[in-house]
């Protein structure tokens, strides 16, 4: 078999993994995976600020803002004006949001376990370790490195569309 491009393979795995999950979360909790992603990021970083968050979501700022609005409207997230700088909002998950996460997380875990079940435990650990290493690099030095090597591509991340 021909060796497929690594990026294609990654994107393809991500789609196979996220796609079914998306449908399940939608049908069980009426929750869009994008919303879930934001809910989790906020939950894991109480008091996180919008700009930080939107860098992590990998969505556009405007998209993140809209998702956030919908979470707030749904009572899953609340925001507080920063007392030192009223331009900032500090974001927190509400009790309802927390409750929802607590229902959603086991399903995530279940799916994750199923996906990884084809790997031995050693492989799973190794895979995780490698993914962590990769994410760290991609989040930090990689982007700088890219800009340096390919100055032709400025501007922020464009839709990858897998």
Partner DNA sequence: CTTATATAGTTTCAAAATGCAACTATCTTA
Partner DNA sequence: TAAGATAGTTGCATTTTGAAACTATATAAG
Would you tell me which residues interact with DNA (CB under 7 A)? 32, 49-52, 59-63, 65-66, 68-69, 79, 84-89, 155-156, 158-159, 161
**Residue 96 binds which entry of a second copy, DNA, none, CB below 5-8 Å type-dependent:** none
Cβ closer to DNA: 85 or 102?
Answer: 85
Q: Which of a second copy, DNA, none does residue 152 bind to, with CB < 5 to 8 Å depending on kind?
A: a second copy
- Rounded alpha-carbon distances, angstroms, from residue 102 to 46, 118, 146: 16, 26, 39
Q: Name the segment binding a second copy (CB under 8 A); options: 33-41, 47-55, 72-80, 90-98.
A: 33-41
The answer to the question of residue 16 lying near a second copy (CB under 8 A) is yes
Total residues interacting with a second copy, rule: CB under 8 A: 67
Among 69, 121, 126, 144, binds a second copy (CB under 8 A): 126
Residue 62 partner contact from a second copy, DNA, none using kind-dependent CB cut-offs of 5 to 8 Å: DNA
Contact between 159 and a second copy by CB under 8 A: the answer reads yes
Spell out the residues 6+ positions from residue 56 whose beta carbon is closer than 8 angstroms to its own: 41
């Amino acid at each position: 078999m021909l060796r497929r491009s690594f990026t294609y393979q990654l994107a393809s795995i991500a789609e196979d993994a996220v796609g079914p999950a998306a449908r399940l979360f939608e049908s069980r909790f009426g929750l869009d995976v994008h919303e879930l992603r934001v809910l989790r990021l906020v939950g894991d970083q109480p008091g996180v600020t919008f700009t930080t968050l939107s860098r992590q979501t990998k969505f556009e700022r405007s998209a993140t803002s809209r998702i956030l609005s919908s979470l707030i409207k749904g009572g899953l997230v609340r925001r507080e004006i920063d007392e030192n700088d009223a331009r900032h909002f500090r974001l927190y998950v509400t009790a309802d949001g927390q409750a929802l996460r607590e229902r959603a997380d086991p399903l995530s875990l279940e799916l994750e376990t199923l996906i990884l079940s084809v790997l031995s435990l050693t492989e799973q650990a190794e895979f995780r370790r490698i993914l962590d290493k990769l994410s760290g690099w991609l989040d930090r030095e990689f982007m700088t490195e890219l800009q340096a090597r390919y100055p032709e591509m400025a501007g922020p991340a464009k839709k990858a569309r897998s």
